[in-house]
Chains A and B, each alone.
Chain A
């Protein structure tokens, strides 16, 4: 009886001690709805490194991938908490489109971050095009991936015109996917559109639709149509990024367009052969994009969230993004070790064109299907 009593007292004391030690560390509630590679990266790399450097904080990561609206639902919860003055129980969104909903903008749900709050923001490259509320911390860009057994380094095209020429000279050796089924194929198509509209992506403003600009797309169809027969299997376009990577992996083709993170990760995992190399066009690179983090303005641990944001933009974490998940840094490549730079020298660019989607996207996809994928003239 006595023993049990002692045990009970010990247990209570232990629990008390544990809760005290937990109270010592202020929690930072982080939400993510990104893919497994990203949530794994947080669990295995970012959080241990951050907690080692900032022992006063405890990062609590909640994965809401595939649950309803993901992070957007949590943002709406934070908005509701804002109206009632409650704790939103979220301090940091791994990715957030801060202007996706007008109510968020109106209520100033997200904190506008300055370089005073997050000093490392000073190193972020302008190509990320961030809103004041957004902190870009990782990027991805479409690249050319090729098999160096079949393509000599000096033969790798450096311009879009050169790429089309290469495709014509090596029939059946190049493939990209349908533009609506994955960004790597879309980049091949949008790059053709940029090519015929003066290589100036800034002409395409999100939310607008310039009929005169869309009318020029027909020239892009001529470009892509001219290589249609030289694409894999006389013009067979797979339905996704992964089937394209697979065709390069099994040696069916020698060159593809691929997302940097998917391609580099497949390479690191050994899914793509060791002879795989990556390159970027030098006249105007393929499109890319960044993941933006955000902090709700009613976060109860803003200090911790800002420390985390600053940590993500540190050279150490930016290097990990390149090495671990095959992402692109959001800071200038010059911040990273010289060795890493030389390894990625063929793909490094501080120019990251973006494609606006919207009405332009619809015209791009339909135009491609009706003019490039088929030889039926829709106006006949």
Chain B
């Protein structure tokens, strides 16, 4: 605030207008480019042509759920997403805890390594993984030098998708979890240790409840990214079953059935919107709590 306009002399409605003006451009962009097209799409998938008049029908959705290939692709997408999420947590939790409590050069190096995937584009990663995981690839060669010859490549199988997606998600997950862990004060943990809590108890009763929110954020944002992923499943995954992103593109571009692709998109959108709602609620309750504190 400048001296010319002291806060008390400016009426509150004017402040409100300025605030609204500032949020208007992104809000308009969201409404025009995301909400309205999404609503239009949803409406279109629910209408059929009845003697030239639009009528309500869920026939496109029943067709989707009656088609075993569509259903298997949706199920496959859920499967890959959930397994990938589990793997991300198993891998990133110890990493984040290590980075929170460790100091020194080694920790710095680990941090750089953990963030490295952030700077590698997905398509480069996919080709690197083909070289690394493929038959006669780096891993295969190293294993055969050690004397292990029974290597079966995950390339073009679901495992390769999970491998690629986990690798891609590490930096973001570690960043958010480490940030959450940093909010837990050292004194809290020290005092718990003073009263005789062991490491497991400290993790389970002190750390975990404190970082429930970052965990939920990591879960929901990673879920959205993985559920709608395209490049990695397209280049590393099998021809069938397919993840929804690849399936949609295929239905639209190759099978030339834009209507079905739209239905697939709306179903994917609804699932993601539900997870997005979880995320928004988490952030909103946090803000409310911070305000009340």
Is the beta-carbon distance between A238 and B156 smaller than 8 angstroms? Answer: yes
The 8 A CB mask of A224-248 against B (1 = contact, 0 = none) is 0000000001001111100100110
Q: Decide yes or no: A370 and B156 within 8 Å by CB, A247-B135, A252-B135, A252-B136 being known contacts.
A: no
Is the beta-carbon distance between B240 and A233 smaller than 8 angstroms? Answer: no
Interface residues on B, range: 20 to 34
B-contacting residues, A366-380, CB 8 Å: 366, 369-370, 373-374, 376-378, 380
Tell me the complex Cα distance, A72–B241, Å: 37
Is the beta-carbon distance between A250 and B135 smaller than 8 angstroms? Answer: yes
Is the beta-carbon distance between B136 and A233 smaller than 8 angstroms? Answer: no
Tell me the complex Cα distance, A57–B66, Å: 66
Q: What is the distance, in angstroms, from B126's C-beta to the closest C-beta of chain A?
A: 9
Which residue of A is nearest B157, CB measured? A236
Is the beta-carbon distance between A370 and B235 smaller than 8 angstroms? Answer: no
Which residue of A is nearest B236, CB measured? A239
Is the beta-carbon distance between A239 and B135 smaller than 8 angstroms? Answer: no
Is the beta-carbon distance between B68 and A366 smaller than 8 angstroms? Answer: no
Q: Decide yes or no: A233 and B69 within 8 Å by CB, A246-B130, A252-B135, A369-B239 being known contacts.
A: no
Which residue of B is nearest A249, CB measured? B136
Q: What is the distance, in angstroms, from A20's C-beta to the closest C-beta of chain B?
A: 51
Among A178, A237, A252, A376, the residue within 8 A (CB) of B69 is: A376
Tell me the complex Cα distance, A365–B254, Å: 7
Is the beta-carbon distance between B69 and A370 smaller than 8 angstroms? Answer: yes
Is the beta-carbon distance between B68 and A378 smaller than 8 angstroms? Answer: yes
**Interface check B186, CB cutoff 8 A:** no
Tell me the complex Cα distance, A237–B157, Å: 10
Interface size on A, residues (CB 8 A): 26
Is the beta-carbon distance between B157 and A233 smaller than 8 angstroms? Answer: yes
Between A and B, how many residue pairs show CB distances below 8 Å?
Answer: 66
Q: What is the distance, in angstroms, from A1's C-beta to the closest C-beta of chain B?
A: 59
Q: What is the distance, in angstroms, from A149's C-beta to the closest C-beta of chain B?
A: 14
Q: What is the distance, in angstroms, from B221's C-beta to the closest C-beta of chain A?
A: 27
Q: What is the distance, in angstroms, from A377's C-beta to the closest C-beta of chain B?
A: 7
**Interface check A350, CB cutoff 8 A:** no
**Interface check B111, CB cutoff 8 A:** no
Is the beta-carbon distance between A373 and B239 smaller than 8 angstroms? Answer: yes
Is the beta-carbon distance between B134 and A250 smaller than 8 angstroms? Answer: yes
**Interface check B163, CB cutoff 8 A:** no
Chain A residues within 8 Å of B241, by CB: 374
B-contacting residues, A344-380, CB 8 Å: 359, 362, 365-366, 369-370, 373-374, 376-378, 380
Q: What is the distance, in angstroms, from B51's C-beta to the closest C-beta of chain A?
A: 26
**Interface check B256, CB cutoff 8 A:** yes
Is the beta-carbon distance between A369 and B156 smaller than 8 angstroms? Answer: no
Chain B residues within 8 Å of A366, by CB: 254-255
Is the beta-carbon distance between A380 and B68 smaller than 8 angstroms? Answer: yes
Tell me the complex Cα distance, A370–B155, Å: 21
Is the beta-carbon distance between A373 and B155 smaller than 8 angstroms? Answer: no
Tell me the complex Cα distance, A247–B140, Å: 14
Is the beta-carbon distance between B254 and A362 smaller than 8 angstroms? Answer: yes
Is the beta-carbon distance between B68 and A376 smaller than 8 angstroms? Answer: yes
Q: What is the distance, in angstroms, from A375's C-beta to the closest C-beta of chain B?
A: 8
Q: What is the distance, in angstroms, from A365's C-beta to the closest C-beta of chain B?
A: 4
Among A233, A239, A365, A380, the residue within 8 A (CB) of B234 is: A239
**Interface check B49, CB cutoff 8 A:** no
Is the beta-carbon distance between A237 and B156 smaller than 8 angstroms? Answer: yes
Chain A residues within 8 Å of B229, by CB: none
Q: What is the distance, in angstroms, from A125's C-beta to the closest C-beta of chain B?
A: 32
Tell me the complex Cα distance, A99–B254, Å: 23
**Interface check B268, CB cutoff 8 A:** no
The 8 A CB mask of B62-80 against A (1 = contact, 0 = none) is 0000011100100000000
Q: Decide yes or no: A233 and B156 within 8 Å by CB, A239-B234, A374-B240 being known contacts.
A: yes
**Interface check A323, CB cutoff 8 A:** no
A-contacting residues, B211-258, CB 8 Å: 234-235, 238-241, 250, 253-256
The 8 A CB mask of B114-138 against A (1 = contact, 0 = none) is 0000000000000000100011110
Q: What is the distance, in angstroms, from A177's C-beta to the closest C-beta of chain B?
A: 9
> Which of A's residues lie within 8 Å of B, judged by CB?
178, 180, 233, 236-240, 243, 246-247, 250-252, 359, 362, 365-366, 369-370, 373-374, 376-378, 380
> Which of B's residues lie within 8 Å of A, judged by CB?
67-69, 72, 130, 134-137, 152-153, 155-157, 234-235, 238-241, 250, 253-256
Closest 8 CB pairs of A and B: A236-B156, A374-B240, A373-B239, A252-B135, A373-B240, A250-B136, A366-B255, A365-B254
**Would you list 20 pairs from A and B whose C-beta atoms are within 8 A, ordered by A residue?**
A233-B152, A233-B155, A233-B156, A233-B157, A236-B156, A237-B156, A237-B239, A240-B235, A243-B235, A246-B134, A250-B136, A252-B136, A362-B256, A365-B250, A366-B255, A369-B240, A370-B69, A373-B239, A378-B68, A380-B68
